[in-house]
Structure 1
């Protein structure tokens, strides 16, 4: 567990939030109010700040073939408004599919954009990288967020045409 809590590989296997990706200059506005978030990547906020969701201790609940993790992020944590109850449920679904469902509710308007940084070698730990490239990946997405030279989202949504379209199963090495 210590390796997962290490700041040397802070996102490996983690749920990232409150906001995955970057917030330019560590600032955002809701209505007329500006909020300043913790800057942890140069002048920007990356993946929720210096002590984002990936460094927090989550509670868990087992229920058959699923486990739900929950975390209560308090108002002002890393500069974000509102208490947020975040949950992540991992479920082994029929057909040996892994389903990951993320939900969040807040007491105030606040940005939420959690993501998952889990990595799996379904062929087994000792099988090596060659076997990982034989896995298949499918992501049901209509597009992705375009970024600038600092990897800051521009707000533009780019469709999957002429990109790594993962809407159909593909081997990671071919994406």
Structure 2
């Protein structure tokens, strides 16, 4: 992703359609959405092209979520709240862990939970979270729903008119010896 800003609001990133991203896929074609990571057979980080929309991502400092602005053909189409572990900064990158449960929000601030069944199935799995942690994750989602309904930042219209520089190319991943990437034929 391209860094747009990094300040007290958080790390703001741009990921345009057509850019590469890596997804963990096993030998049977499953992602971590279909089966738990510990049940994946020979998983590999696999390079794919991001399709369907551009995204602007805000990772607030120490927050257990990120907020994504979706754009299709330059038009804002809604927000996505990704519940996740607070990001940890590394030289040239950030690390976080997905908490499975998400919230999808329309431009009119109508919202709905996403991946509830998948989240519920992961509770108690040692590779994911126990019941207490699951409740903390839900509480973070409920706190954000109150912000959505109150139209508070970041759901106040900020960045809904974001326009990237036309000179910014699609982004490509480079192989790292630390994280080798598989490029399917």
Alignment TM-score, normalising by the size of structure 2 = 0.26
The structure with the largest alpha-carbon Rg is: 1
Q: TM-score, normalising length from structure 1?
A: 0.27
